[in-house]
Amino acid sequence: MKIAVAGTGYVGLVAGVCFAEVGHDVTCVDVDEAKVKVMESGVSPIYEDGLEELMKKNNATGRLHYTTDYASAYANAEAIFIGVGTPEMPDGSANLSYIATVCRQIAESVEHDCLVVVKSTVPVGTNDKVEQFIKDSLEKDVKIEVASNPEFLAQGTAVHDTLHAARIIIGTESKEAEAKLMEIYEPFGLPIVSVKRRSAEMIKYACNDFLALKISYMNDIANLCELVGADIEDVAKGMSYDARIGERFLNAGIGFGGSCFPKDTKALKFLAKQNGYELKTVEACVDVNTRQKTKMFNKAKDRMITFDGLKVAVLGLTFKSGTDDLREAPSVENIKLLLEQGANIYAYDPAGVPRAKQQFPEGTIGRGSITYVDDPKEALERANICFVFTEWPQIREVKPASYKELMKTPLVYDGRNLYGLKEMKDAGVEYYSVGR
């Protein structure tokens, strides 16, 4: 099928590449000409395992194209997928301006009957408005239907999550739209759950917010474990055997980040408020996560007289391993606090440094400074204190003895519980973690 995809971020580009991989003819649309040229050369603009290989493969087959010419891409497309961003507004609501721009372009450009599919995460009821907006703006006498098809990929495993999804959610208001989406996804060979549009929109928020709740719950229990002398890892192990709970998302740490959970929890909270309802569970989740992000900094602040002039090793910048994304990453808030306190930061991350430099240019910043290094051991050399913010394998591979050998003061605040308490104690490291 001839498919156009609006937006080449995590959602749009991964979807477009995977559609091409299963045999569709796909054109990915972006406003950035330089980005288009990079993608045409087979280079991915985002750090995502396996994506670049599939781009090169499907560029070569001629099934995958890139353009800034939205008019030609949309004119004869049988289906147009919208995968642009819906960033958080100051009040927590979703910014739908990028969706609206694409809708205008579609209305101006389509020349044949077409199915418009919204993959972006949008508030419940948005697809109704999208359909009406496009119909109001159409320049030709064509039939447009709008469907909801939320994505459930995780950064770092996005390609696998798309090609091997547990299920595909589609939300439609007609048998014709349902049939076309079924046809598009038939080559994937995956279970398809077909519901009404508003239910599909809510499924996305309900899933993401439930996972965020699970993380915040475990972090809340971890904080209590510290006070009563229990070990959160023992607790999580005992919980994991209960099939009603499961074993995933039970790791305690310094909270969630990224482009989805923080935004989607706030958006659902805002939606509930708009409808006169108080979503207390999600509100608590947001509050717990906000406090959790600076937990390690506050522990260290209680221990230290000052950070002024100290060498501070920061291991891990991205919000999780396997991605270069720093959006809502715990490291960001902690780096800001450390710089305000006059710390000289030496930061390591195998993927996130280029993006980190956009927020924290190398050199002096206020009272402190930041230097980026290529090896975690270089960050640790003669450091007074170390913070671990991301669970990268390269950081996990640093042996406990290395902290003792390299650091001026072997003082480690581990926000990801990468090390055992006994092994760090035996190595002579003063070690603080979450919930243990």
What single string gives the DSSP state of each residue in 117-152?
A: EE-S---TTHHHHHHHHHHHH-SSS--EEEEE----
Rounded to whole angstroms, how far apart are CA atoms 94 and 270?
9
Residues making up the chain, counted from first to last: 436
For the sheet with 64-67, list strands across it: 64-67, 25-29, 2-6, 79-82, 114-118, 144-148, 168-171, 192-195
Locate the DSSP E strands across 337-435: 344-348, 363-365, 368-373, 385-388, 411-414, 430-432
Contacts of 162 (CB under 8 A, 6+ apart): 14, 15, 18, 151, 153
Catalytic residue among 103, 114, 225, 260: 260
Backbone angles phi, psi at 387, to 5 degrees: -115, 135
Is 364 strand, coil or helix? strand
- β-pairing, 363-365 vs 368-373, is antiparallel
Is 116 strand, coil or helix? strand
Contact of 389 with 379, CB cutoff 8 Å: no
Is-catalytic flag, 260? yes
- 250 φ/ψ sector (left φ>0, alpha ψ -120 to 50, else beta): alpha
Contacts of 207 (CB under 8 A, 6+ apart): 152
Contact of 84 with 96, CB cutoff 8 Å: no
Contact of 121 with 86, CB cutoff 8 Å: yes
Contacts 24+ apart (CB under 8 A), 372-378: 372/346, 372/347, 372/348, 373/346, 373/347, 373/348, 374/348, 375/348, 376/313, 376/315, 376/348, 377/402, 377/406, 378/346, 378/348
Buried b (16+ CB within 10 A) or exposed e, 71-109: eebbbebbbbbbbbbbebeeebbbebebbeebbebbbbb
Rounded to whole angstroms, how far apart are CA atoms 401 and 183?
57
Q: Name the residues annotated as catalytic.
A: 260
